[in-house]
Amino acid sequence: MSRYAISDIHGCCKTFRFMVEKEIKLEPSDTLYLLGDYIDRGPDSKGVLDFIMELREKGFQVHTLCGNHEDLMLHARDNSAYNMNWLLNGGKATLKSFGVENLFGIPVKYWTFLEDLKWYFALDDYLLVHAGFNFAAPDPFADRESMLWIRDFEVDKTVLGTRRIVHGHTPIPLGQIGFFLEDPVSSVINIDGGCVFTQQLGYLTALNLDTFELHALRNREDY
């Protein structure tokens, strides 16, 4: 029984599938936490969502958070004023993966998936979130905008306690992820290896929350 966290897949379905099936070899007794940004930019956003749903149908324990890109897509559906912003931030690739010209061609089951995404997970030893927390807010766990978008934040240890925060959202080099993992006093761990950004970064990572082992996989997509 192992717990894994993966973030910022961004439509890189082949890489994601290889990570789950071949690299970490996920078992039904394991738990997989996905920290958002499944869609946009990469070649197969639909495939990523299909694979997540397939894992659940097969009995795997997969828990999903909302990322800012899922939030952008939902806003674009509900208000046309947001549509261009979403398209310019990778939405065109998502539409292409579905083989549709606009959001209204996407089947209902995918919208249900997006609407059911959580904002954070509070475990005994970790707080899992897409971007981070605004600890200056009266209730950091009610500040939805920060959980999706914040880049830099200071931790309030009276709120965090002995837990560590694991998040994505801001792509960083693999070596920097390793630095956070090796720092015994670091309470914040960013696991976004920038999988979709193949020219500068290009790694999908999976962190074993029990052993602290980092699985890093180079982008395997066909562009």
Determine, yes or no, domain membership for 135: no
Q: CA distances (Å), 10 to each of 15, 30, 111, 158, in order? A: 10, 23, 17, 34
Q: Which amino acid is at 95?
A: L
Residue 154: which of 141, 165, 144, 142 has the closest Cα? 165
Beta strands 126-129 and 120-122 are antiparallel
Provide the domain limits for residue 117: 3-130+163-218
Residue 201 confidence (pLDDT) above 80: yes
The C-alpha atoms of residue 89 and residue 83 are separated, in whole angstroms, by 10
pLDDT digits (tens, 9 = 90+) for 67-96: 999 999 999 999 999 999 999 999 999 999
Determine, yes or no, domain membership for 105: yes
Q: CA distances (Å), 172 to each of 20, 57, 94, 176, in order? A: 21, 33, 23, 6
**pTM greater than 0.85:** yes
Determine, yes or no, domain membership for 211: yes
CATH of the domain at 113: 3.60.21.10
**DSSP 3-state of 199:** coil
pLDDT band at 184 (very low <50, low <70, confident <90, very high): confident
Please state the φ and ψ torsions of residue 127, each to the nearest 5 degrees. -110, 125
Determine, yes or no, domain membership for 146: no
Instruction: Name the DSSP class of 215.
Output: E
Residue 1: which of 34, 31, 25 has the closest Cα? 31
Determine, yes or no, domain membership for 61: yes
Phi-psi region of 40 (alpha: psi -120 to 50; beta: other; left: phi over 0): left
Residue 222 confidence (pLDDT) above 90: no
Please state the φ and ψ torsions of residue 74, each to the nearest 5 degrees. -65, -40
The C-alpha atoms of residue 30 and residue 38 are separated, in whole angstroms, by 20
Residue 186 confidence (pLDDT) above 90: no
- Asked whether 19 and 55 are in contact (CB, 8 A), the reply is no
Percent of the chain with pLDDT over 70: 100
* Number of independent structural domains in the chain: 1
Phi-psi region of 66 (alpha: psi -120 to 50; beta: other; left: phi over 0): beta
The C-alpha atoms of residue 205 and residue 150 are separated, in whole angstroms, by 21
Determine, yes or no, domain membership for 205: yes
Question: Under 8 Å CB-to-CB from 119, ≥6 apart: which residues?
Answer: 65, 66, 129, 141, 144, 147, 148
Determine, yes or no, domain membership for 55: yes
Determine, yes or no, domain membership for 203: yes
